[in-house]
Amino acid sequence: MKHRSKSGLINSLLMSGGAMALTVALGAGAAHAAQDAYVPVTAGDLTGAASSDGWLMFNHDYTGRDYVPFTQITTANVSGLTQVWASDKIDIPNGFEDSPVIHGDYMFVTTPKDRVIAYNAVTGGKIWEYDYAVPATAYKTVCCDTNNRGVAVYGSMVFFGTLDNHVVALDAATGSVVWNISIEDPGVGYSISEAPIVVNGNVIIASGGGEYGARGFIIALDAKSGAQKWKSYTIPDPTQPGGDTWPAGMYKTGGGAPWMTGTYDADTNTLFWGVGNPGPWLATMRPGKNLYTDSLLALDPDTGAIKWYYQYTANDTWDYDGVNTAQLADITYKGTAYKAVVEANRNGYFYAIDRTNGKLIYAVPFTHDTSILGITNDEAVKNPANEPTLDKSIFTCPSFLGGKNWWPGAVDPQSNTAFIPTLHACMTMSGVPVSYAAGLPFLGETFKMKADPSAPGELGSLQALDINTGKRIWQRKSPMPWDAGALATAGGLVFSGTPDGHLDAFSEKTGKLLWTSPELSSGIIANPVSYQVDGKQYVAIWAGWGGVWPLWAGPLAKAEANIPRGGQLYVFSLGS
């Protein structure tokens, strides 16, 4: 690690991708003539985001539930949803995975390749646009598209991370750069794709790069200045607790990328952050539990100290990252009340964990699973027959993309129902020799997606789970992968998008399809969001096909090969 002076860090703006960055602020008289003055976001706004009219962070609020309390759009009237506005089509042929952030009548979005745009949330008028201009070196170590999943807001600033490992603060009203910090060099393994989260005045963000052996970390920067407050590695060194779960020296290339946005419990001042797969993928090369890969970490957001962890998959060889959103929920399981976090894991199990101490409450499979045999002593029991070696090829389910990948599901805290966009696929996997080289993939396995023999003709589903019991309530199956996020609303609705370009609304209770949008200009992999301005409820979604499925699903993705590319943001509301 390089230690640069604070001023050097800030000046790195002038030396790296930021040098070519461009902000375009639109002149008076443009479509945003009625734009309100930007009202700074307070710490109280963030803590109270669950009941706000806006969508103030990646997963709406600190609980990570992707749930809005709005009741204007309901099961009874959703059939009347119509398009209010759409952005211009953005000609980037990569996946649009952004969840727009809305505060007042300002909407902030990101596109692949780290562009940030501010729109008027009511009219769609563009307020400003900032193109970070990612340097070519960063593209050397992307694994899974050039995505940027969004911004965080606090004070008068908008924060985002970049593919070349910068964190940038922009003025929310104008898009001009306030600070720009490099937290790692590009091209050696690290990259950033997720949205930051702001907790107690710190901008908290984390590294990607688990396919390149990059040792994962979570970092907190002072929102005002960008100065580093703390940095915690997800892979302990030999002197730290858990350091003995790695063969000598392998912690340096152990992966564990915490590449999705965390969640936060304000009551206990605890930050929850999921950790990705170990490096290399081939587990026989690194005997041990390999902490804290494939784990949920509970951290002190002010110091980065780890309070506790729960490891979903020990010594993982299947790429079952533990990064899916840990959602806060208060549940009653077998007569006992728990303050829980729930997570639909890549390994195919749905977990409920006591968020006060990290103890498992229950874990149940939510898709066909031959990798995990069950839960014993609160730990997943792996199927040794399905672990590849240099001499053994295996077939197992779910695939390396998991029973669910990054796209956020939703939790309705009123009914305690989780809505899980699910993949149904398996894989073959074989061990191959590999040695670490900075900037090259560090896998040691070759792998192919295969159809799930237990679910013929079905690649995806949306399912509802009673999180008090772990039991499935309903499931909607699809011949297409279900690789888009889900939004739940107090109007009794679940919204989610499809690869063939429709935003759909379902009944929370039954899963019945109640509304489908006209065909949008591309397929959907993003998460729908909802907000209210001046008493009117809106639902917004990016179209913009790409992401992991077309990259990695091989022959299974043939049906989606001709989906038009390019991004376009659509906003819907009830007709007046």
Partner 1 sequence: MKQGRILAAVAVGVLGGSVVVAKAASVPAIYTAAQATAGATVFSANCAMCHGANLEGAAGPTLVGQSFAAAASNYTVGAIFGEIAQQMPAGNPGSLSHDQYAQVMAFILSKNGYPAGATALDYNAALGSSVPLVSQVK
User: Under the rule (CB under 8 A), what is the footprint of partner 1?
Assistant: 19-20, 93-95, 135-137, 139-142, 144-146, 187, 432, 437-441, 443, 446-449, 546, 550-555, 557
Q: Residue 321 Cβ, how far from partner 1 at the closest point, in Å?
A: 17
Q: Which is nearer to partner 1, 95 or 125 (CB)?
A: 95
Q: How far is the CB of 425 from partner 1 (least distance, A)?
A: 11
Within 10 angstroms of residue 198's Cβ, the number of other Cβ atoms is 25
Query: Smallest distance, Å, CB 233 to partner 1?
Result: 24
Minimum CB separation of residue 200 from partner 1 in Å reads 36
Of 448 and 536, the one with the shorter C-beta distance to partner 1 is: 448
For the chain, how far is it from start to end, CA to CA, in angstroms? 57
Q: How far is the CB of 137 from partner 1 (least distance, A)?
A: 4
Q: How far is the CB of 446 from partner 1 (least distance, A)?
A: 5
Q: How far is the CB of 438 from partner 1 (least distance, A)?
A: 7
97 or 171: CB nearest partner 1: 97
Sheet strands side by side (includes 177-182): 152-154, 157-161, 166-171, 177-182
| Choice between 17 and 242, CB closer to partner 1 | 17
Q: What is the dihedral of CA 425, 430, 436, 438, to 10 degrees?
A: -30
Please tell me the chain's helix, strand, coil percentages from 3-state DSSP, rounded to the nearest 5. Answer: 10, 40, 50
Which lies closer to partner 1 via its Cβ, residue 453 or residue 555?
555
Q: How far apart are CA 27 and CA 65, in angstroms?
A: 38
Q: Contact, 424 vs 404, CB < 8 A?
A: no
Residue 193 CB, shortest distance to partner 1, in Å, is: 12
Of the two residues 18 and 125, which places its CB atom closer to partner 1 in the complex?
A: 18
Q: Report the distance separating Cα 285 and Cα 275, nearest Å.
A: 20
Measured distance CA(269)–CA(62) in Å, rounded: 11
Q: Is 210:259 a contact under the CB 8 Å cutoff?
A: yes
**233: preceding bond cis by omega (within 30 degrees):** no
By beta-carbon proximity to partner 1, the closer residue of 143 and 462 is: 143
Output DSSP code: residue 255.
B
Q: How many CB atoms lie within 10 A of CB 305?
A: 11
Say how far apart CA 542 and CA 568 lie, in whole Å. Answer: 6
CA distance 352 to 355: 9
CB 345 within 8 A of CB 351: yes
Beta strand extents in 141-201 (DSSP E only): 152-154, 157-161, 166-171, 177-182, 197-199
Active site positions, annotated? 319
What is the C-alpha to C-alpha distance for residues 344 and 468, in angstroms, rounded to an integer?
14
Nearest residue (CB) to partner 1, 19 versus 33: 19
Annotate 63-102 with b (16+ C-beta within 10 A) or e (fewer).
bbbbbbbbebbbbeebeebeebbbbeebebebbbbbbbbb
Least separation in angstroms between CB 492 and partner 1: 37
Q: What's the number of CA atoms in the CB half-sphere (13 Å) around residue 65? A: 25
DSSP label at residue 37: P
* Spacing of C-alpha 257 from chain mean position: 12
Among residues 140 and 368, whose Cβ is nearest to partner 1?
140
Other residues' Cβ atoms within 10 Å of the Cβ of residue 1: 9
Determine the Cα–Cα distance for residues 565 and 552; give it in Å rounded to an integer.
17
